[in-house]
Amino acid sequence: MIYCGIDWAEKTHDVALVDDSGQLLAKRHITDDSAGYRILLDLLAEYGDTAESPIPVAIETARGLLVAVLRTGKRQVFAINPMAAARYRDRTSVSRKKSDLGDALVLANILRTDMHAHRSVPQDSDLSRAVAVLARAQQDATWNRQQLSNQLRSLLREYYPSALAAFDPWRNGLCRREAHELLKAARTPARAARLTLMQLQAALRRAGRQRGIEAEAERLQEVFRADWAHQPHLVEEALGTQMLALLIQLEAACMAADDLAKAVEEMFPQHPDAEIILSFPGLGIQLGARVLAEIGDDRKRFADARGLKAYADASPITRASGKKSSVTRRWVKNDRLNHAGYLWAFSTITSSPGAKTHYRRRRDDHGDWHASAQRNLFNRMIGQLYHCLQHGRLYDKALAFPTSHDEVDTVAA
């Protein structure tokens, strides 16, 4: 048996091949381009790599063109956490020496000694991976939009409180086009106070508003012309310039989030698992796509529902030593799936009577705090999703949350 370890870098990679005894058979330094990939594949073929019996490869990343090349066919690619690789390095050397070839050798020996303890990169379909790209990008864009919105709000609090008061009745006020047009028309509170009704109405129309323009313009004018504290004129103008620069970034983030959301809405329903995922209460297209992006469609990825629950930080973890034992939440997890699970459980409480009953029982009978009860509900829902995906069944609320308390306890167990 031959094992391959690759120390990944931005421009070049180091490759090491070892046999069952740990003997170094070959080493190469390749470039990160098609020529380097060809050298790597030729090296693997020289030592017995075939389509039927490919050589397993360990690398410290699960992304990139190099991984895409290695994942073709039946080859097992193991994405080893860099922290775990560092711990393995200390097993053979206490001097803390480090080299790129040495790291490649460590990765190869990880497979030689402990391949059974590591999970290979899942064999998800191309459609599932495409959905994952779009869903994660949309999630990042949403987080970036919220971060920029918070920065803009913080800046407006320093010199422009009338703008915050004017946008407060609007949902997602600072992310709305009306707010952007008004801030462009008046970057300082002094300028906003001089806006006429016609100018305010024109700004609202440019933002796409079609109803209640006159009444909204009158409300805005009243707010802008109220008595507010002001910064010195020069400072106010400087802050207005800073605000416009930040506003440009926020507009770009809003546009990116909206465009990516549309792309997700087009691609996610094409996946065969979409119907099952969307049958669950609290899961819409965007949130369902995020769930699919993290769990994939490789049915062999998780041995059972417990593995998926642990991956999502839905199940607790026990720490025991001697006479001491504690049950706490997990900290090593998939952050994206955990965040999607938080939103999923929160929306399920209001959309499913059975889920709400389960949540209230965890709060009242078991004394859980809100976060613990919500995490317990997510633990139950993600387990049911695993079962439905494995058996190709849609969500059934009668089976998910039976009315009898005894039946509920039985299903939960």
Question: 355-408 pLDDT, tens per residue?
Answer: 999 999 999 998 889 988 999 999 999 999 999 999 999 999 988 888 744 444
The pLDDT tens digits for 266-321 are 999 999 999 999 999 999 999 999 999 999 999 988 888 988 988 888 877 787 88
Tokens representing 206 are 């440019």
H or E stretch covering 221 = helix 213-224
Contact 142, 172 (CB under 8 A): no
**pTM across the whole model:** 0.84
pLDDT tens string 116-128: 888 889 989 999 9
Provide the pLDDT for residue 234. Answer: 96
pLDDT in tens, 121-180: 998 999 999 999 999 999 999 999 999 999 999 999 999 999 999 999 998 889 999 999
Q: Are 29 and 36 in contact (CB under 8 A)?
A: no
Work out the angle at residue 300's Cα, subtended by the Cα atoms of residues 296 and 302, and round it to the nearest 5 degrees: 75
Q: For residue 399, which amino acid is it?
A: L
Q: Quote the crossing angle between the two packed helices 82-92 and 100-114, to the nearest 10°.
A: 90
Which contiguous run of DSSP H or E holds residue 358? helix 353-364
Residue 60, classified by CB atoms within 10 Å of its CB into exposed (0-12), middle (13-18) or buried (19+), is buried
